[in-house]
Every structure is written in C-alpha cells, then in structure tokens.
Amino acid sequence: MTSTETIDLTVSGVEARSIASIANKAVQKIEEFASRHGCSGQFDKTKLKDDLIIFLAKRDALHLEELQISILGDGSVGVGGVVTGKRTNDLILRFGYSNDGRFF
C-alpha cells in the first residue's frame, strides 16, 4: 500500500528569485523523506537537484504550488505526476511564498 505525506515549504521572496534555492530546499526535504522510508543514499542527489531545476524552470517555478515526489519499489525517486515503476511512498511538497516566513 502506498503512503502519502504532505510537507509545506515556505519560500522567502529572496529564495523565490532563485530556482536553485527552491531545488536545494526540496532536495533536503526529499532526502529526509527517503531516510524515513529506508531509501536514503539510493539516489543521486546531484542528478535529482539538476532534474528539479529543469522541472521547476519549465513550470515557471515562481508560481509552482505543489510537486509530487514518489519513492519507487527499487529505491529510485520520481518527480512529478508521471512515474514508471511501483510507487511505495509519495511525498507532496506544497510551496508557499512569503516575505515573513509564514506558510500561507
């Protein structure tokens, strides 16, 4: 059975100007999620960050509100709603943009 977890990420106005900052924050949360599900170290964090940067750039990251991350049966990580393989756990990252640090 697939479990789903939702994490709210607050992105400051300064961070929202940098896709790389958003990707770094997302990779940290993905790594924490993977560790809780026994998949830590089974994926290339640099490649994941690079993939996220491309993903975010193509989807106008400054207005991205939600991103689905799936941990697959083989320990790999899929980003976005389309994944190949058996999903074991899903992480939904919800992005909120704020200058005062509060999620909205």
Tens of pLDDT, residue by residue, the chain (104 residues): 567 777 766 666 665 567 788 888 888 888 888 888 777 777 778 888 888 787 777 665 456 677 777 777 666 676 666 556 666 677 787 776 666 655 44
Specify the pTM.
0.65
pLDDT of residue 90: 79
User: How many CA atoms does the CB half-sphere of 85 hold within 13 Å?
Assistant: 15
Find where tokens 């961070």 sit.
Answer: 15
User: How many CA atoms does the CB half-sphere of 24 hold within 13 Å?
Assistant: 7
Q: 34 exposed, middle or buried (CB, 10 Å; 0-12, 13-18, 19+)?
A: buried
Q: Where are the domains of the chain?
A: 3-97
- Backbone φ/ψ region at 20: left (φ over 0), alpha (ψ -120 to 50), beta: alpha
